[in-house]
């Protein structure tokens, strides 16, 4: 448990060494998923979900959205925009991006009256930065610019897919 919290703090601090550590530790995949689940619960509560059924439904949706973004990011980062030293597998990307969700625990602050939405938005931006660091480390990129491009491209594609799915479902 001590290692989990230490890694969550390191990931939230955007510490590249922490991301390298979880990338290499094949036993930390479950812990990374736990972090994503905690951040998803916090997001559901921060977004105003008032009962456990709604929280559960939102957590499942957020996990699915995260998995799609991770998959797209891996594909884009390794197939479309790799650097010569790029090498990653799905486990490495799951672990690093899972821990990159650590700041998301603060999305629970979305319930704070008047300024909650600002806090929620700020935490989401913090999470984007941590996702970029996670991808930079997982894909062995030399710069954060390429990692940012991969993350934004993956986010845009998954957003379009999600928007299209929601439009069809309605």
pLDDT digits (tens, 9 = 90+) for 32-51: 999 999 999 999 999 888 89
How many angstroms separate the CA atoms of 127 and 132, rounded?
9
Residues 6+ positions from 141 with CB-CB distance below 8 Å:
77, 83, 86, 135, 147
Asked if 130 and 117 touch (Cβ cutoff 8 Å), the reply is no
Phi-psi region of 140 (alpha: psi -120 to 50; beta: other; left: phi over 0): left
Q: Which residue from 119, 115, 111, 134 is spatially nearest to 36, judged by alpha carbons?
A: 134
Q: Specify the pLDDT at position 166.
A: 47
DSSP code string of 64-97: HHHHHHHHHHHHIIIIIS--TT----HHHHHHHH
* Average pLDDT estimate for 17-38: 96
Q: Specify the pLDDT at position 1.
A: 64
How many angstroms separate the CA atoms of 62 and 69, rounded?
10
Residue 63: pLDDT over 50: yes
């Amino acid at each position: 448990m001590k290692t989990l919290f230490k890694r969550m703090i390191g990931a939230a601090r955007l510490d590249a060494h922490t991301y390298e550590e979880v990338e290499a530790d094949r036993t930390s995949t479950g812990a990374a998923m736990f972090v994503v689940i905690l951040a998803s619960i916090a997001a559901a509560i921060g977004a105003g979900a008032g009962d456990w059924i709604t929280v559960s439904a939102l957590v499942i949706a957020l996990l699915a959205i995260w998995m799609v973004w991770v998959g797209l990011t891996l594909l884009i980062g390794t197939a479309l925009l790799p650097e010569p030293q790029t090498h990653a597998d799905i486990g490495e990307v799951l672990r690093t991006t899972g821990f990159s969700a650590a700041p998301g625990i603060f999305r629970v602050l979305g319930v704070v009256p008047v300024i909650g939405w600002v806090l929620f938005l700020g935490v989401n931006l913090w999470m984007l930065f941590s996702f970029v660091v996670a991808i930079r480390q997982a894909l062995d990129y030399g710069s954060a610019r390429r990692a940012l491009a991969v993350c934004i491209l993956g986010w845009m594609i998954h957003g379009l897919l999600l928007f299209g799915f929601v439009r069809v479902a309605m």
